[in-house]
Amino acid sequence: MALDLTRVDSASRAAAMLAGDPTARFLAGGTLLVHEAGSGAGEIHRFVLSDGLGFDRIERNAGKVTIGAAVTMAKVAADPALAFLKPVADSIGGPAIRNVATIGGNLFAPAPYGDFAVALLALGATVAVETAAGEKSVDLEAFLKARSGHRAGLVRSVTFDQPADGAFRFRKVIRKHPRGAAVLAIAAVLPATGGKLTGVRVAYGAMAPTAIRANAVEKALEGKALDAAAIDAAVKVATEGTKPATDAQATDWYRRQVLPVHLRRLLAG
Amino acid sequence: MVRIPVTFTVNGAEEGQFVEPGALLVDVLRDRLGLTATKTGCGQGTCGACSVIIDGELKLSCLIPAGRVTGASIETLEGLAAGGAPHVLQKAFAKGFAAQCGFCTPGMIMAAKALLDRNPDPGRGEVVEAISGNICRCTGYEPIINAVLAAAADLRAAKSA
């Protein structure tokens, strides 16, 4: 594979290199890009390495969690303060993949991959993006909608509010056990105040080309108690807005058929 | 073609090579250093045949440019046998018929070693988890899981003896 590896000493330098070379990519774990470069599909001729830029840290400040783009799934899974995300991180690949696959890279994983991005979307994460013009913060939902355009820059980190204990739920449906790509994934943050859900966020994976919000489900649940009636109402609109693909894991038809079943199970706890 | 120097330790021996910048670690191990136990399988991180241990962590050498691991300590299957005697894991795989065609075996054993290095007394579920990124298409997983558990027991017995 004819390509260069470039080490840089700052994120701004990396962003400048990426902006000036459309064949350059920012390389973290490499689980997606190294294969892409080797296959010749991506016209990649330079990797700008994330090594040594300090993107491998997890920080907490005033109820907010910031995870560096180069933090691995294994590191998330091993962090006791992020125990609610351990099932998400552990669901991705085998141990060798989790030792290198990063949170930043997962934002670019095409369906049916990208389970961590599903969780982050439910958590309402923002993405710190470094471009040649400087750093900016982008809502993850907007980031995912314009994902390919962000290759001119690089992801520094993601930030989200630590959810209340028990408010975060995640469910991934797979065919190859114990680990496999998703038939579908669902993540939800279900904060309750006075017995009513407030600030509900639900996200799907493998139900569209990127992780998406389940807006109709959120609307059906918002302000309600999480009881049988609310769950019924949410399940009725479970497939609204979805555009799943047919791939080796499942057909689009199957994904639409089983999504309501798994949403019901997730909501019923 | 421009070549870059890479230096790392493989199975305790310092190695240095000039390689193409995009050369993959698995290719350098196999084609330059003659360490052909590590296999190229899927080439995309799915099968685990190229598994090696880098600085104590199990990783896939088909997804790592060799130039990125300069200075690292790499373990491959060839480094397990001490003084010509097979490693406990290798003995257990042979004794338990845990290798049929043998293609997945080096990756399986390195995945198992990474597990036993940090957890000398794993449960069956932990062994399944440890090899969950390694695909076997002919032996079947049961003999492999049993061999890892047997090796773990042998290692514990040897340590307490």
pLDDT tens-digit series, residues A185-217: 999 999 999 999 999 999 999 999 999 999 999
The whole domain housing B122 covers 88-160
| CATH number for the domain harbouring residue B109 | 1.10.150.120
Q: Work out the end-to-end distance of chain B between its first and last CA atoms, rounded to an integer number of angstroms.
A: 56
Taking residues B64-72, report their average pLDDT.
96
- Does the beta-carbon distance from B20 to A1 stay under 8 Å? yes
Task: Please check whether residue B19 touches A, CB under 8 A.
Answer: no
**Which sequence spans correspond to the domains of chain A?**
4-49, 58-161, 168-268
Q: Most B CBs within 10 Å: which of A26, A35, A177, A179, as the mutation test of the B interface?
A: A35
Here the ipTM equals 0.95
Chain B residues touching A3 at Cβ < 8 A: 21-22
Of B58, B79, B100, the position where a domain reaches its end is B79
- Does the beta-carbon distance from A2 to B43 stay under 8 Å? no
CA–centroid distance for B64 within its chain: 14
Establish whether the linkage from the previous residue to A112 is cis, with ω within 30° of 0: yes
Does residue A151 surpass a pLDDT of 70? no
Closest CA–CA distance from residue B86 to any residue of chain A (Å): 24
- Average pLDDT of every residue of chain B: 96
pLDDT tens-digit series, residues A210-265: 999 999 999 999 999 999 999 999 999 999 999 999 999 999 999 999 999 999 99
Please report the pLDDT score of residue A33 as a whole number. Answer: 94
Helices (H), A6-148: 11-20, 33-39, 73-77, 86-90, 95-98, 103-106, 115-122, 140-145
Taking residues A156-166, report their average pLDDT.
97
Closest CA–CA distance from residue A41 to any residue of chain B (Å): 13
Task: Please check whether residue B129 touches A, CB under 8 A.
Answer: yes
Task: Please check whether residue B51 touches A, CB under 8 A.
Answer: yes
User: A52 to chain B: nearest residue by CA?
Assistant: B68
Fold of A168-268: Enolase-like; domain 1 (3.30.390)
Closest CA–CA distance from residue A4 to any residue of chain B (Å): 5
| CATH number for the domain harbouring residue B19 | 3.10.20.30
Does residue B62 surpass a pLDDT of 90? yes
Please report the pLDDT score of residue A178 as a whole number. Answer: 75
Query: Least CB-CB distance to A96: which of B20, B22, B59?
Result: B59
Please report the pLDDT score of residue A150 as a whole number. Answer: 61
Cα A214 to Cα A200, A224, A264: the distances in Å are 10, 16, 14
User: A2 to chain B: nearest residue by CA?
Assistant: B22
B107 and B67 inside one domain: no
- Does the beta-carbon distance from A99 to B20 stay under 8 Å? no
Please report the pLDDT score of residue A149 as a whole number. Answer: 67
- Does the beta-carbon distance from B65 to A35 stay under 8 Å? no
Interface of B with A in 105-124 (CB under 8 A): 111, 114-115
Fold of A58-161: 3.30.465
Establish whether the linkage from the previous residue to A178 is cis, with ω within 30° of 0: yes
Task: Please check whether residue B48 touches A, CB under 8 A.
Answer: yes
Task: Please check whether residue B140 touches A, CB under 8 A.
Answer: no
Please report the pLDDT score of residue A20 as a whole number. Answer: 92
Please report the pLDDT score of residue A18 as a whole number. Answer: 93
Please report the pLDDT score of residue B84 as a whole number. Answer: 84
What b/e sequence results for B120-132 when a residue is b if at least 16 CB atoms lie within 10 Å of its CB, and e otherwise? eebeeeebbbbbb
B149 and B92 inside one domain: yes
Please report the pLDDT score of residue A116 as a whole number. Answer: 98
How many residues in total does chain B contain? 161
Does residue A1 surpass a pLDDT of 60? no
Taking residues A181-188, report their average pLDDT.
97
Residue A77, token pair as written in the block: 């899974």
What CATH number should be reported for the domain whose range is A4-49? 3.30.43
Does residue B132 surpass a pLDDT of 60? yes
Please report the pLDDT score of residue A152 as a whole number. Answer: 67
Please report the pLDDT score of residue A177 as a whole number. Answer: 78
pLDDT tens-digit series, residues A91-143: 999 999 999 999 999 999 999 999 999 999 999 999 999 999 999 999 999 99
Closest CA–CA distance from residue B81 to any residue of chain A (Å): 22
Taking residues A155-166, report their average pLDDT.
97
Query: Least CB-CB distance to A178: which of B1, B114, B128?
Result: B128
> What residue has token string 């990649």?
A44
Please report the pLDDT score of residue A153 as a whole number. Answer: 83
Domain count, chain B: 2
pLDDT tens-digit series, residues A37-49: 988 776 899 999 9
Taking residues B32-50, report their average pLDDT.
96
Please report the pLDDT score of residue A213 as a whole number. Answer: 98
